[in-house]
Amino acid sequence: MNDPKSSSRRDLLRLASAGALGIGVSRAADRGVDDMKFEAKDTVRLGVIGIGGRGNSLIENFSAIPQVRVTAICDTVKDKVTRQQAKLERAGKQPPALYHSSDRAFEDLVKRDDIDLVVIATPWNWHAPMALASMKQGKHVAVEVPAARTIAECWDLVDTSESTRRHCIQLENCCYGYNELLVLNMVRAGLFGDITHGAAAYNHDLRSVLFSNEGEGLWRRFENVNRNGNLYPTHGLGPVAHYMDINRGDRFEYLVSMSSPALSLSAYRKERLRADDPRQKEVYRCGDLNASLIKTAKGRVITLEHNVSTPQPYDRINLIAGTKGIFRDYPPRIFLDGSAKEEFGPIEPYKARFEHPYWKQVGEMARELGGHGGMDFVMAYRLIQCIREGAAPDIDVYDAAAWSAPGPLSEASVAKGSAPMPFPDFTRGRWQQVAPATG
């Protein structure tokens, strides 16, 4: 009897050498890194920095692709890298080199000459410094979200990517979710007419994570101590930006933002922690809810929410609407002009026609591996496909900067009484010469 997993892997080998069926990013030639293609590689060699929960998951998804080799891994905790090395050996993979001597050990990893792509899955404050160091050593970079925490870091990433001719890709897995790619095809087919507005969010109850004594609990809570704004914008915003062809015919122009009182983390802490726990003395600045509005150059409007502090179901909203209809997620539903009933309907009738090629190609294997419903593997598969075929990536440094920028811009807007804050044009005007993608 054939092993379904073996069959899936054989299919993946075949598909990895097939022609790319991409998100359809078209770029102006010979400007910046807009259309800069990877150097085609038969085997893609990875260096991975950050071997926590997210780093381990990314290694699992990338290493499931037969043409990927994990050359080196780095973390400040020795046990993490040795455990991952042993795991890869048990899977029949060549053991990677280990780096763990200090919090600067990554600087030695990125100097290696047997790495094509550096994958960064560390706390947020390390994302930009590690990405910059990698590009300066001639490596392409795939960095977890957000790629940057300040506008200065956004510009540093853009300038360095352009000057070194190395890509800085933001690992925005939500752009590769089943619903997100289905809806992208529907938008491109004109089902919703001329797009006028969208909505995005990261509404996720992370209270137990933030107060954990391990993993993200060791650092992520301090973002809420030190900052007040839309701290984690890209999961919801990335897909909506693709629906609207942001940086490809339109761009984010300005943002206004406001935050609610910061009450829920203190209330949770009071109920769950001992009275003498040092965390009882922390003062949280970030409002439970941050609500931001983005206006684009074409006049479109995007609402953007952030809430990790209150009890609620997970919700990225994922709304896109235009002159002919609307899609709204969580749960997924659709309404088109002329429908017999004035109510939302299911999206199932649209799947046969609009299911994205990625999910047709590798959806079975993606679901087997897991990782946020399979989107992690689809993201990894597509990035490796671009590198192996010598194509340009779907998400470039201009996207990484624009999608990360609502973090610091919302902080500034909140601090100034919800004043409008302009987005820098990270493309330096190139968005105006680029035709919107159609495929």
- In sequence order, the 6+-apart residues with CB closer than 8 A to the CB of 308 are 202, 203, 204, 205, 206, 207, 210, 224, 231, 232
Mark whether 28 and 168 lie in a shared domain: yes
> No. of H helices and E strands in the chain?
16, 14
Please check whether residue 230 lies inside any domain of the structure.
yes
Mark whether 218 and 305 lie in a shared domain: yes
What range does the domain containing 29 cover? 4-172
9 pLDDT more than 50: no
Mark whether 328 and 345 lie in a shared domain: yes
Neighbouring CB atoms inside 10 A of 176's CB total 30
Residue found by looking up tokens 């159609």 in the block: 438
Whether the model pTM is above 0.85: yes
Closest CA to 203 of 386, 330, 335: 330
Please check whether residue 386 lies inside any domain of the structure.
no
Mean pLDDT confidence for 111-132: 98
Please check whether residue 163 lies inside any domain of the structure.
yes
Grade residue 25 by pLDDT with cuts at 50, 70 and 90.
Answer: very low
In contact, 292 and 413? CB cutoff 8 Å = yes
Sheet holding 252-259, edge to edge: 333-336, 325-328, 319-322, 195-203, 301-307, 290-296, 252-259, 421-422
Give 209-225 pLDDT, tens digit per residue.
999 999 999 999 999 99
Please check whether residue 375 lies inside any domain of the structure.
no
45 pLDDT more than 90: yes
Please check whether residue 314 lies inside any domain of the structure.
yes
What would you report as the CA-atom Rg of the chain, rounded to the nearest whole angstrom?
Answer: 21
Mark whether 344 and 309 lie in a shared domain: yes
- In sequence order, the 6+-apart residues with CB closer than 8 A to the CB of 30 are none
Please check whether residue 391 lies inside any domain of the structure.
no
DSSP letters, 176-234, are: GSHHHHHHHHHHHTTTT-SEEEEEEEEE---HHHHT-SSGGGGTTHHHHHH--S----H
Query: 172, 201, 216 — which closes off a domain?
Result: 172
DSSP reduced 3-state for 164: helix
Cα 346 from Cα 331, distance rounded (Å): 9
In contact, 71 and 65? CB cutoff 8 Å = no
CATH number at residue 297: 3.30.360.10
Grade residue 17 by pLDDT with cuts at 50, 70 and 90.
Answer: very low
At residue 351, what is the residue type? Answer: K
Mean pLDDT confidence for 400-419: 98
Query: 172, 202, 233 — which closes off a domain?
Result: 172
| pLDDT attached to residue 26 | 41
437 pLDDT more than 90: no
Mark whether 158 and 184 lie in a shared domain: no
Please check whether residue 377 lies inside any domain of the structure.
no
| pLDDT attached to residue 354 | 98
Cα 92 from Cα 207, distance rounded (Å): 38
Tell me whether strands 252-259 and 290-296 are parallel, antiparallel or unpaired: antiparallel
377 pLDDT more than 60: yes
Grade residue 15 by pLDDT with cuts at 50, 70 and 90.
Answer: very low
CATH number at residue 154: 3.40.50.720
Q: Which residues of 371-389 are buried (b: 16+ CB within 10 A; e: fewer)?
A: bbebbbbbbbbbbbbbbbb
Residues of the chain above pLDDT 70, percent? 92
Phi then psi for residue 204, to 5 deg, are -150, 120
Mark whether 159 and 204 lie in a shared domain: no
DSSP state of 420: -
| Average pLDDT of the residues of the chain | 93
27 pLDDT more than 90: no
Mean pLDDT confidence for 224-252: 98
Closest CA to 52 of 221, 219, 233: 219
Please check whether residue 371 lies inside any domain of the structure.
no
Mark whether 414 and 268 lie in a shared domain: yes
Closest CA to 418 of 263, 259, 303: 259
Mean pLDDT confidence for 357-383: 97
Residue found by looking up tokens 């938008």 in the block: 187
Give 144-166 pLDDT, tens digit per residue.
999 999 999 999 999 999 999 99
Grade residue 31 by pLDDT with cuts at 50, 70 and 90.
Answer: low
Mark whether 163 and 186 lie in a shared domain: no
30 pLDDT more than 70: no
Mark whether 324 and 179 lie in a shared domain: yes
Give 87-96 pLDDT, tens digit per residue.
999 999 999 9
Query: 139, 154, 172 — which closes off a domain?
Result: 172
Mark whether 81 and 183 lie in a shared domain: no
Query: How many angstroms from the chain centroid is the CA of residue 37?
Result: 20
- In sequence order, the 6+-apart residues with CB closer than 8 A to the CB of 9 are 64, 66, 365
Residue length of the chain: 439
| pLDDT attached to residue 35 | 87
Q: How far is CA 190 from CA 46, 134, 186, 244, in A?
A: 39, 40, 6, 12
Mean pLDDT confidence for 99-115: 97
Query: How many angstroms from the chain centroid is the CA of residue 330?
Result: 19
20 pLDDT more than 60: no
Mark whether 133 and 25 lie in a shared domain: yes
| pLDDT attached to residue 395 | 97
Cα 107 from Cα 110, distance rounded (Å): 6
Q: Is 403 exposed, middle or buried (0-12, 13-18, 19+ CB in 10 A)?
A: buried
| pLDDT attached to residue 41 | 97
Grade residue 34 by pLDDT with cuts at 50, 70 and 90.
Answer: confident
Mean pLDDT confidence for 253-280: 98
Closest CA to 155 of 370, 408, 339, 359: 408
| pLDDT attached to residue 16 | 43
| pLDDT attached to residue 407 | 98
Domains of the chain: total: 2
Grade residue 434 by pLDDT with cuts at 50, 70 and 90.
Answer: confident
Mark whether 14 and 91 lie in a shared domain: yes
260 pLDDT more than 50: yes
DSSP reduced 3-state for 66: coil
DSSP state of 263: -
